[in-house]
């Protein structure tokens, strides 16, 4: 499963290369689609832009002059931007030479605190999971675009979109928690215990000391999010959603070996479910 089923997908586009001849030798240009993950100030008017691209994975590039009001494409290189970019290959950092907006997710997220903070968690997670610069991670790229599109459209609960993204991103990274079978012996579930270091749900014989005992509904919810079964996921109670979010966050951060700064800011109270357990 590559995209977030039912949440939108990324439009396919080929990577195009051009090599220009100049007096000093060849100048290599390449083009790719990507999502802006982060920006950093550089000097008086420039920025270092970190993108997750379809073909080239994580790319850090210099965008010259984008902090000036006269910049031709400064507003397009903001976090959440889904863009088509042309790069000039540099010695240490590549240089952005052209930018075209594909989807302006940011404009639809900044006015909603819950969806904005959820989107920040998606971007931070993507940067942590992307690995080395230049290493293709197309499945992660498609998941990020699908998650941001779902958040911007506003049709699904933001917290459910985030947990679905995190579960599927961990699957792409090889960290999927066991939900329907024992993480240690593989015996089919449902099981009544969950242990993050053990790898997810565990049976009674394999259960380590200190394992959590989530409600059966919680594990059904997580399995539904991982598989894209939205009717089951959206019918889950507020208690199951809160408990499931805690398990997903703990599993992810255990594998990352560090906390995500954006996760504590994410609103976890489902809309319309206040006090309903």
CA-to-CA distance for 140 and 146, rounded, in angstroms? 10
CA-to-CA distance for 200 and 179, rounded, in angstroms? 6
Q: Which of 155, 190, 221 is the endpoint of a domain?
A: 155
CA-to-CA distance for 153 and 169, rounded, in angstroms? 20
- My answer on whether 210 and 132 are in the same domain is no
Location of structure tokens 């941001």: 148
- My answer on whether 130 and 225 are in the same domain is no
CA-to-CA distance for 224 and 36, rounded, in angstroms? 29
pLDDT at 45: 82
pLDDT at 14: 44
List, for residues 121-154, the tens digit of each pLDDT value: 999 999 999 988 989 999 999 999 999 999 999 9
Which residue, among 86, 66, 117, has the nearest Cα to 269 in the 3D structure? 117
CA-to-CA distance for 262 and 92, rounded, in angstroms? 29
In sequence order, what DSSP letters do the residues of 170-184 get, joined into one string? HHHHT-PPB-SB-TT
CA-to-CA distance for 228 and 205, rounded, in angstroms? 30
Tell me if 163 is assigned to some domain. no
The stretch 209-217 carries a mean pLDDT of 94
Domain span including residue 22: 1-155
Assign 59 to helix, strand or coil: strand
Could you tell me where the beta strands, DSSP code E, fall in 54-209? 57-63, 81-88, 94-104, 193-195, 200-202
- My answer on whether 231 and 95 are in the same domain is no
pLDDT at 66: 75
Q: What is the pTM of this model?
A: 0.85
> Residue 242: pLDDT above 90?
yes
CA-to-CA distance for 35 and 57, rounded, in angstroms? 10
- Residue 107: pLDDT band (50, 70, 90) is confident
- My answer on whether 141 and 198 are in the same domain is no
Residue 24: Cβ-neighbour burial (10 angstroms; 0-12, 13-18, 19+): exposed
- My answer on whether 148 and 42 are in the same domain is yes
List, for residues 13-35, the tens digit of each pLDDT value: 444 444 444 444 455 889 999 99
The CATH number of residue 119's host domain is 2.40.50.140
Tell me if 162 is assigned to some domain. no
- Evaluate whether 88 touches 162 at the Cβ level (below 8 Å): no
The stretch 234-257 carries a mean pLDDT of 94
Assign 34 to helix, strand or coil: strand
Domains in the chain: how many in total?
2
Tell me if 11 is assigned to some domain. yes
Read off the DSSP letter of residue 265. G
Q: Which of 107, 125, 155 is the endpoint of a domain?
A: 155
């Amino acid at each position: 499963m590559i995209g977030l089923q039912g949440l939108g997908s990324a439009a396919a586009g080929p990577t195009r290369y051009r090599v220009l001849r100049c007096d000093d030798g060849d100048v290599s240009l390449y083009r790719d689609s990507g999502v802006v993950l982060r920006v950093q100030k550089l000097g008086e008017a420039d920025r270092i832009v970190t993108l997750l691209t379809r073909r080239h994975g994580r790319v850090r590039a210099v965008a010259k002059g984008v902090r000036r009001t006269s910049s031709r494409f400064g507003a397009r290189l903001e976090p959440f931007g889904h863009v088509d970019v042309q790069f000039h290959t540099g010695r240490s950092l590549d240089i952005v030479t052209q930018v075209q907006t594909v989807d302006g997710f940011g404009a639809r997220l900044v006015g909603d605190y819950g969806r904005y903070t959820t989107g920040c968690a998606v971007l931070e997670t993507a940067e942590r999971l992307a690995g080395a610069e230049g290493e293709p991670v197309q499945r992660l790229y498609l998941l990020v675009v699908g998650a941001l599109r779902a958040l911007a459209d506003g049709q699904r609960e933001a917290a459910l979109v985030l947990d679905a993204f995190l579960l599927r991103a961990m699957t792409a990274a090889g960290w999927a928690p066991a939900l329907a079978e024992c993480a240690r012996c593989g015996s089919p579930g449902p099981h009544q215990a969950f242990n993050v270091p053990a790898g997810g749900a565990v049976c009674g014989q394999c259960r380590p000391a200190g394992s959590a005992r989530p409600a059966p509904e919680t594990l059904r919810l997580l399995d539904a999010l991982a598989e894209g079964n939205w009717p089951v996921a959206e019918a889950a109670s507020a208690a199951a959603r809160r408990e499931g979010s805690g398990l997903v966050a703990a599993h992810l951060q255990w594998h990352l070996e560090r906390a995500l700064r954006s996760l504590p800011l994410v609103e976890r109270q489902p809309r319309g479910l206040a006090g309903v357990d």
